[in-house]
Amino acid sequence: MRLILIGPPGSGKGTQAKLLSENLRLFHFATGDVLREAIEKDTSEGRKAKPFMTAGQLVPDAIVNEIVAAQFRGSDKPRDFVLDGYPRTIAQAIALDHVLAEQSLGLDAVVFLNGDDEEIVRRLGNRWTCPNTMCNAVYHALFKPAKVAGKCDLCQTPLYQRDDDKPATIRKRLQVFHECHDAILRHYRDQNLLIEVCGSGDIEAIHAKLVNTLRV
């Protein structure tokens, strides 16, 4: 199955994409994770992306499109995948259409995980991430706390709060999302691929709803 998950920052799309990838055996391709790893490794892409990410802005299309195209053109290109955090602009959606067509990979669905902005600000303020790039587990102080406060359950690395999870940055990211997402949703609605799912509530219940909606 080939999926795109679209949702405002904090709609839970990362968590849901991870669950879908584990349960449906899909390659989880999150551009945010790839970019954070590039920054950590101090690659040229990472150095270019960093100022945009810390300011809560989108990284320029050319950089992100190149990362995605390289993945799909590489020797370990995925056949079944869930794309998380990409595309985020109409230019990215068009670039992705071309790359997938070139690789003869059709999409099965584009899921829009909808959410309320105020709930999102509250949710993200409680989000803690494992900085270990081999792990990248995400916790939530209220909904999914680590067993030992401040430490990753999986690898025991001390958790941290991402710069782009700070309230002012969250509001900026939500504004950016709303400016771009209408055109993207229209793009996929026109292709009869769009499915809308409410992202409020319990993580497992939303996952069950997604699997049921995708009828797998």
* 199 counts as binding ligand AMP under rule CB under 6 A: no
52 binds ligand AMP (CB under 6 A): yes
Give CA–CA dist 53/69, Å, rounded.
20
CA 42 to chain centre: 21
If residue 27 lies in a helix (H) or strand (E), which one and from where to where?
strand 27-30
Q: Per CB under 6 A, does 173 bind ligand AMP?
A: yes
Widest distance between CA atoms in the chain: 47
**Residue span binding ligand AMP (CB under 6 A) among the ranges 53-61, 116-124, 149-157, 183-191:** 53-61
The reply to whether 123 belongs to the active site is: no
Three-state secondary structure call for residue 141: coil
**According to the binding rule CB under 6 A, does residue 32 interact with ligand AMP?**
yes
Among 11, 15, 71, 92, binds ligand AMP (CB under 6 A): 92
137 binds ligand AMP (CB under 6 A): no
Q: Given the DSSP bridges, would you call strands 127-129 and 138-140 parallel, antiparallel or unpaired?
A: antiparallel
Q: In angstroms, what is the minimal distance from the CB of 67 to ligand AMP?
A: 9
User: Would you call 22 exposed, middle or buried from its count of C-beta atoms within 10 A (0-12, 13-18, 19+)?
Assistant: exposed
* Catalytic positions: 13, 88, 127, 162, 173
Interface residues toward ligand AMP, by CB under 6 A = 9, 31-32, 35, 52-53, 56-59, 64, 85-86, 88, 92, 164, 173
